[in-house]
Amino acid sequence: MTKLRAVIFDLDGTLIDSAPLVTQAIQQTMINKTGKHIPLADLQQFVGPPLSTTFRNLGAGAETSAYVEEYRRLYSPTIKQTPLFPGVRELLKKLQTKGIFMAIATSKREDLAQQICAELDIAHFFTKIYGADLADKKADKATIIGRALQGFYEAGQLDKPSAVENFRSDVVMVGDRIYDIVGAKTYNIATILLTWGAAPAEEYQQAYQLADSAPDLEKLLLA
């Protein structure tokens, strides 16, 4: 079996505990735009998907872009308050020490993802941080994961497969939602889903493996 050489990480709900800040910003956006108060617990499902998808699902319709703009106005000042999940920094250090290459593939806007990682002093662990563009386009998870793979190829950190019939064993996706699983599967990459994220229970059943903590994830990646 080919040795693991690279890991693609999601960001929200995977490396950073952004759910409280994200759901609060969504809640306030809906209040400002519609006067409707949605309980924070009901908004947990929207931690992870592209913002345009979130607000369309919440009924924004043709005004989706205006809702996204209002969300970002509310969310951006809170970025410095975003914490890492316990054990994440230590995990990234260990993987780097073991010579495993890492990238981030997130549906969050790329510049914001880069800013958060810089604030948390973890940006240097990654070959590159990939996300949605300024217009919240190209936010499809498969597209972003594809960009991360291409980055590994261009850096000479992974070889392009000539043909892959089963899941690749040289790279794995680590995320917290079904979007990570579906996006990674496009490239025959298995996904380890983290149970500390915001996924409903039924999404865990579709993951290749589950991890309940950073030490648990370390064991899976370095087995």
What is the rounded average pLDDT of the residues 79-104? 95
**Mean pLDDT of the residues in the chain:** 92
- pLDDT score of 163 more than 90: no
pTM higher than 0.85 for the full model? Answer: yes
What domains sit in the chain, N to C, each tagged with a CATH number?
Answer: 6-17+82-221 (3.40.50.1000), 19-81 (1.10.150.240)
Those residues whose C-beta lies under 8 Å from the C-beta of residue 128, and which sit 6 or more positions away, are: 103, 104, 148, 151
Give me the count of residues in the chain: 223
For residue 23, pLDDT beyond 70 = yes
Residue 1 has pLDDT above 60, yes or no: no
Distance between CA atoms of residues 210 and 205, nearest Å: 9
pLDDT for res 201: 84
pLDDT at 197: 77
Min mean pLDDT across 83-92, 108-117, 137-146, 180-189 is at 137-146
- Confidence tier at 137 by pLDDT (50, 70, 90): low
- Cα–Cα nearest to 47, from 87, 89, 107: 107
Tokens of 200: 């409903």
The average pLDDT across 93-112 equals: 94
User: pLDDT tens-digit profile of 30-61?
Assistant: 999 999 999 999 998 888 777 888 999 999 99
CA distance 195 to 188: 22
User: Can you give the pLDDT at residue 161?
Assistant: 85
* Mean pLDDT on 72-85: 90
